[in-house]
Amino acid sequence: MQESAGERLDRFLAEQLPELSRSQLKRLIDDGQVRIAGAAVKAGLKLRGGEVIGILLPEPEPVDALPEAIPLAILYEDPHLIVIDKPAHMVVHPAPGHRGGTLVNALLHHCRDLSGIGGVLRPGIVHRLDKDTSGVMVATKDDRTHQQLARQFKAHTIQRRYRALVHGLVQNQQGTIDRPIGRHPAQRLKMSSSTRCGRRAVTHWQVLRRYDRDRLTLLDLALETGRTHQIRVHLAEMNLPVVGDPLYGSAGLARGLADAQLRKRVEQLDRQFLHAWRLGFIHPQSGEALEFRAPLPPELQGVLDYLEKKYTPLDADGADPSAIPPP
């Protein structure tokens, strides 16, 4: 790429290969596994632009994912796939620091025929939710179903809807964020739009409620693409960080809430206020259009109930005349 001219090789590769850590890339370069024109190169090499870079990646070391009897909230299951309501704090698949207690461990116990589907590291997994995001997920039980469902995700025909409570008042009623997302150039744990080699990411949003005095907005969001941390990055870069998000927000935002009861509820969340409430797709085997919904978990619903009680006057019958449509 000509736009890479003058950039250090290691920084360019870090943007191109976000799945690899800087230490992994350094080891590959030091071991001579990164080559230009057949010759080993150094990490600090300045690119001219237009080079063809060859990288020899070692075979991944399998993570021994063992079945674990972890309860699952199953929304649907048949011989080909399973749909679950993932709780917050559950990692989707094993990784360094999370060898057990993951969704994969739970699925391997529940679905004995998952092994190898989608690879040994992520059996049955065709998409992910962040550790502290809850909501609807689908996993597959056979190769054909996995491949066909993966094609739907790649074609962006999967219907994915989320609810998010954000700090800040959104002025427009609806809109679209179309900004690429890649690895943050300086902070490895974060994703960002400030990267040269991000992938296109599109998020559609609509305002459900504004809580003016507390400067909070409840949003309904639809994903057109599915990049890592997509909603959290897009909203944070609009200066609308998701409530409770420690990576793209700030604990100081919760402490700044004037309402003591609301502040306590938000500080006790221990997760971001982001929930995947709806998932729709075509069943790869039957061709049937399926849609699944998961209500907000109690800790999120409790915050909304408090805000609704605080902001919404009741009519003569004690009913809320403008209730938020439930997920």
| 25 residue type, one letter | L
Catalytic residue annotation? 130
How far apart are the C-alpha atoms of 112 and 120, rounded to whole Å?
14
Grouping H, G, I as helix, E, B as strand and the rest as coil, residue 308 is helix
How far apart are the C-alpha atoms of 277 and 86, rounded to whole Å?
11
Find how far residue 243's CA is from the centre of its chain: 15
Grouping H, G, I as helix, E, B as strand and the rest as coil, residue 223 is strand
How far apart are the C-alpha atoms of 186 and 142, rounded to whole Å?
39
Residue 97: partners with Cβ closer than 8 Å, 6 or more residues away: none
How far apart are the C-alpha atoms of 276 and 160, rounded to whole Å?
7
DSSP string, 86-149: EPTT--SS-BTTBSSSSHHHHHHHH-TT-TTTT-SSSTTBSS---TT-EEEEEEESSHHHHHHH
In terms of Cβ atoms closer than 10 Å to its own Cβ (0-12, 13-18, 19+), residue 183 is: buried
Length of the chain: 327
Phi and psi at 136, nearest 5°, equal -75, 130
